[in-house]
Every structure is written in C-alpha cells, then in structure tokens.
C-alpha cells in the first residue's frame, strides 16, 4: 500500500491540474450513511414519493418529514480526515477543484474553497415561490421552515426531476477535459452525469487515482492506482506523502 501511496503522491506532484470527484463514501466516517445503504434515507423513505420536485410542490409538509431526518444527520456531522486532507492539498496548491455529489457542506468546513456541487447544499433554504433565501441555521427551530410569504421553504439541494445546475455541469466537464490527475473518492461513479467525469479525464490522458472500500467498475477499466480502504486514513497518508516528497508548499 505504501508503494501505491508513493506513486499516487508522485502523480499529484507532477500534475498541473488535479481534481477530486467525491461521493457519499467520503462522508460515511462523518456519520452520514449513504442514502442508498441499508440504514440510509431511502430504506425509510421511498425517493419517488419524498424526493422528487413534484412531491415537494404537491405536499411540502410531507416531504419535510424526510428532510428533517436528513437535516438531523447532516447538522451533527463534522468533516473527517478525508475532507480536511483535501482542504490541505488545496491550500498547498496541489488540488485545484473538488466536484462533489454530496450536499453536506463538509468539504467547505474541511477547508476547501473550490467546490463544485452537483446536488446543491443543505446549508441554505429558498422559497420556490418568491425567491427569498435563508440560512438553514436561521430556521432551525421552525418546522416546517416558512418564508416571509408564508410558503414552505425548500433546501437548496437538487431533488429528483430537477436539473443539475448548468454552471456546475459545464465547469466540471471543462475541467475534466484538461485535468492531468483525478482523485475518485468514495463513489462508485454509477450515477449520471458525475459518472462521466472519470471517462472525460481519462480521454485527456489524466491519471486516475481511486480511493474506495470496494472495487468499482472503474477499478479494472480506467483506474491507474487503486487505494483500497477508508477515505480518512488513505487521504491522510497521501497528504503526508505529498508533503514528504514535495518538501513543503508549492502555492500557485
């Protein structure tokens, strides 16, 4: 494993544009189960009934039963070693952007600034009727949280049936097509359109470093280095190795 970490660090040190693509697996160590896992949100709530934009428009009060459960889990979560390590890599100038499918704001709390969010972020709420926005924190004691116009607020997360923000999509495709290295962390990369990012990067001859607990369809097709295990410990070791080989900072 140490040999593989050393090779991965070398790739990161040589790369002029390094991206990370992250999914639910990176936040599991922060206490947020993958929505699709056995104890995840979708085992309790049918996403077709609770997580579509149509369901929210038709009965926001009902959808907030599911959102409250989600909110409780997310609100108590803290960034783990993987989030903090990626924040450090960015500060040192070795990681340029994170493309995440997560809505938990943990990358930002872990120190990352350049975060492209595919599915939005649960730290703010919007009124889909009048457009006013609030911080989730401000409405923590209201259930369901309401706008001044008396309508029920929606968290700024992408529901099923809503498009992924065009800006996030375009920017990530643009970056992937010129990346020299891509870290794939905590995602099986099966959900579209995030699953196209590794392929786009690979077509541009980027080196793919995959960090996952289990092998994925990427492992034997396009991954160059597969680091198997929990994201926290592996990212921490990788950051240490980058520091060791890089001999300090290389701020952009």
Catalytic positions are: 119
CA neighbours closer than 13 Å in the CB half-sphere of residue 31: 10
Q: What token pair was written down for 249?
A: 């900072």
Beta strands at 133-135 and 154-157: parallel, antiparallel or unpaired:
unpaired
Beta strands at 207-212 and 97-100: parallel, antiparallel or unpaired:
unpaired
CA distances from 171 to 116, 154, 202 (A): 8, 25, 17
Spatial separation of the C-alpha atoms in residues 208 and 8, rounded to whole Å = 9
Can you give the C-alpha Rg of the chain in angstroms? 19
- In three-state secondary structure terms, 117 is strand
List all residues 6 or more positions away from 163 whose beta carbon is below 8 Å from its beta carbon. Answer: none
The per-residue b/e assignment along 232-245, b for 16 or more CB within 10 angstroms, e otherwise, is: bbbbbbbbebbbee
Spatial separation of the C-alpha atoms in residues 31 and 44, rounded to whole Å = 17
């Amino acid at each position: 494993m140490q040999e593989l970490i050393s090779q991965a660090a070398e790739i990161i040190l040589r790369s002029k544009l390094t991206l990370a693509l992250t999914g639910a697996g990176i936040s599991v160590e922060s206490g947020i189960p993958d929505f699709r896992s056995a104890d995840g949100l979708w085992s309790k709530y049918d996403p077709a009934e609770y997580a579509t934009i149509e369901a929210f428009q038709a009965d926001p009060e009902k959808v907030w039963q599911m959102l409250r459960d989600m909110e409780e889990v997310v609100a108590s979560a803290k960034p783990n070693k993987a989030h903090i390590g990626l924040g450090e890599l960015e500060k040192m100038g070795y990681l340029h952007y994170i493309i995440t499918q997560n809505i938990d704001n943990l990358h930002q709390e872990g120190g990352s600034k350049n975060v492209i969010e595919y599915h939005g972020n649960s730290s703010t709420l919007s009124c889909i009727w009048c457009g006013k926005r609030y911080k989730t924190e401000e409405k923590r004691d209201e259930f369901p949280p309401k706008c001044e116009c008396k309508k029920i607020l929606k968290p700024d997360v992408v529901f099923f049936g809503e498009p992924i923000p065009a800006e996030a999509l375009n920017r990530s495709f643009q970056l992937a097509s010129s990346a020299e290295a891509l870290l794939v962390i905590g995602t099986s990369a099966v959900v579209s359109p995030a699953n196209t990012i590794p392929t786009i990067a690979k077509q541009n001859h980027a080196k793919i470093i995959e960090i996952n607990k289990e092998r994925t369809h990427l492992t034997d097709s396009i991954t160059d280095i597969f680091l198997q295990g929990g994201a926290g410990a592996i990212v921490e070791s990788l950051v240490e190795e980058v520091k060791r080989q890089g001999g300090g900072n290389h701020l952009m």
